[in-house]
């Protein structure tokens, strides 16, 4: 899902405030949620009573750090990366599609 950080998000955001920064405001607006807490690399959002962790692309981390330091950044967009990733490439875990691993039962031959 694409998240757009607008001029209004940048103007109304508060640097150093995890739930009031520009990216938190954009997440709340774009996702229609009431809670988002943003760090440099990830965010925690509340959806249907459950917390979900989202990971940001490296360039979003750089924009947040720059904004926290200099209070200036141009509007930008980024794609969300859901929790459950490996270094290098994002992998979305879809628990609804997971099946239990088959069970292998080994028996030892019984002595006669």
Residue 103 in any domain: the answer is: no
When the pLDDT of each residue in the chain is averaged and rounded to a whole number, the result is 80
pLDDT attached to residue 48: 87
Q: Which has the higher per-residue pLDDT, 92 or 49? A: 49
* Residue 54 domain boundaries: 2-93
Give the 3-state secondary structure percentages of the chain, helix then strand then coil, rounded to 5: 30, 25, 45
Q: For the chain, how long is the longest CA-to-CA vector?
A: 83
Residue 63 in any domain: the answer is: yes
State mean pLDDT over 61-66. Answer: 94
Residue 109 in any domain: the answer is: no
Residue 35 in any domain: the answer is: yes
Residue 100 in any domain: the answer is: no
pLDDT attached to residue 111: 61
Residue 83 in any domain: the answer is: yes
Residue 105 in any domain: the answer is: no
Q: What is the pTM of this model?
A: 0.71
Number of domains composing the chain: 1
Residue 86 DSSP symbol: B
Residue 111 in any domain: the answer is: no
Contact between 24 and 35 (Cβ < 8 Å) = no
The number of beta carbons lying within 10 Å of the beta carbon of residue 91 is: 11
């Amino acid at each position: 899902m694409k998240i757009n950080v607008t001029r209004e998000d940048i103007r109304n955001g508060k640097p150093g405030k995890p739930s009031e920064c520009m990216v938190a405001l954009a997440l709340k607006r774009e996702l229609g949620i009431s809670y988002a807490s943003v760090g440099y690399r990830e965010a925690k959002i509340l959806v249907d009573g459950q917390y979900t962790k989202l990971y940001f692309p490296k360039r979003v981390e750089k924009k947040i750090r720059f904004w926290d330091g200099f209070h200036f950044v141009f509007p930008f967009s980024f794609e969300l990366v859901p929790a459950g990733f490996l270094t290098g490439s994002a992998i979305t875990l879809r628990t609804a599609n997971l099946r239990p691993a088959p069970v292998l039962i080994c028996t030892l031959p019984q002595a006669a």
